Amino acid sequence: NPLKLSGFGGLKWYRPLELQHLLELKLKYPDAKLLVGNSEVGIEMRLKRMQYQVLISVTHVPELNVLSVKDDGLEIGAAVRLTELLKTFRKLVNERPADETSSCKAFIEQLKWFAGTQIKNVASVGGNICTASPISDLNPLWMASRAKFQIIDSKGNIRMALAEDFFLGYRKVNMASDEILLSIFLPWTRRFEFVKEFKQAHRREDDIAIVNAGMRVYLEEKGVELIVLDASIAYGGVAPLSISASKTKEFIIGKNWTQELLQSALKILQTDIVIKEDAPGGMVEFRRSLTLSFFFKFFLWVSHQMD
Ligand code: FAD
């Protein structure tokens, strides 16, 4: 049944069962917080003392829970839990041609070092994306893997946004107050297209990243040369939002995948991702060197795949 509970101080908690009902609630209460795992909102309310008057639990809306395998990729409902996503990726890696699942493998690796089992069992994909934490472990990977977000407004209009263009500022995303995230579309990778995850934290298990990243390169064999047809380089933990190293990306596209490309790209990367001396989070030197070493590791890893 749909539920509506009222609490102390006028707090309202809804649990709609249909998308239409959810959209009506979002129109009526544009400032309402959506909940799935409550692993972000719970902390905001209890530890940061933030007050929300209207909470809408979206766990029971079928459209937000889809996991649908398409010809060109995977559609993932925004309320899908991380454990469920991990299981699906593992199954797909076994079933589909290896060329198609480079992104899936990167997500599997990143999810291994994401929180603990209890959090992953309840935390959702959409909750992570929409919180837009500058240190989200998954957002740089959505950006790198050419994912698209399906966004629906209260009238039911649907639009697509590229993950790469979705994050606008500190916890700010390209979504209006009457819009919600419906689903994520993750395209399959192609032959000679490689996606890799990176995360450096103080501790390997259950720790927040110092710097993380998602990188992708799409190569073409031309005689003895390997030409970069397309690429993405996205970082977390180096700015108030997950960001693309766009100058470096533009520089490597069209070039031959060689040691010279690596050396020049590392130089450009230093002007592309700039962490100021007084940047929040400290450890500036360390974060600068992580930014470079992730790209260095990516270069070696891709070259090894092509051997
Ligand atoms: P909720 O708290 O339920 O919701 C979060 C926000 O998303 C709310 O503002 C809500 O309004 C919005 N939202 C949810 N769904 C939608 C939608 N469909 N459309 C629009 N807005 C929506 N994060 C990492 O990246 N890496 C980690 O290693 C990590 N470890 C953690 C460890 C612990 C102990 C904890 C408590 C958190 C950790 N997190 C980590 C952060 C958090 O768990 C994730 O961001 C999680 O995916 C949030 O999902 P949720 O369903 O719990 O979000």
164 lines ligand 1 (CB under 6 A): no
Query: What is the reported pLDDT for 1?
Result: 79
181 lines ligand 1 (CB under 6 A): yes
78 lines ligand 1 (CB under 6 A): yes
CA atoms within 13 A on the CB side of 295: 29
Q: Which amino acid residue places its CA nearest to atom 53 of ligand 1?
A: 127
The rounded mean pLDDT for the chain is 96
Span 193-306: which CATH code? 3.30.390.50
Query: What is the reported pLDDT for 157?
Result: 98
Q: Which amino acid residue places its CA nearest to atom 39 of ligand 1?
A: 115
Torsion 114-104-96-187 (CA) sign: positive
Neighbours of 170 (CB within 10 A): 12
199 by DSSP, 3-state: which?
Answer: strand
Torsion 152-153-156-160 (CA) sign: negative
Domain 62-187 has CATH 3.40.109.10: no
Q: Which residues of the chain have pLDDT under 70?
A: none
Query: What is the reported pLDDT for 257?
Result: 98
Q: Which CATH class is domain 3-57?
A: alpha beta
Taking alpha carbons only, the member of 34, 214, 13 closest to residue 124 is 34
Neighbours of 158 (CB within 10 A): 11
Ligand 1 pocket test: pick from 22, 26, 36 the residue with the most ligand atoms within 8 Å of its Cβ.
36
| String of DSSP letters for 206-261 | S--EEEEEEEEEEEEEETTEEEEEEEEEEEESSSSS-EE-HHHHHHHTTSB-SHHH
137 lines ligand 1 (CB under 6 A): yes
Query: What is the reported pLDDT for 64?
Result: 98
Domain ranges of the chain: 3-57, 62-187, 193-306
Query: What is the reported pLDDT for 12?
Result: 95
Query: What is the reported pLDDT for 279?
Result: 87
ipTM greater than 0.95: yes
Q: In what order do the strands lie in the sheet with 54-57?
A: 3-6, 12-15, 54-57, 33-35
Give kind and range of the element (H or E) at residue 54: strand 54-57
**Is the pTM higher than 0.80?**
yes
41 lines ligand 1 (CB under 6 A): yes
* d(C-alpha 114, C-alpha 133), whole Å: 14
Taking the CA of residue 115 as reference, the ligand 1 atom at the shortest distance is: 30
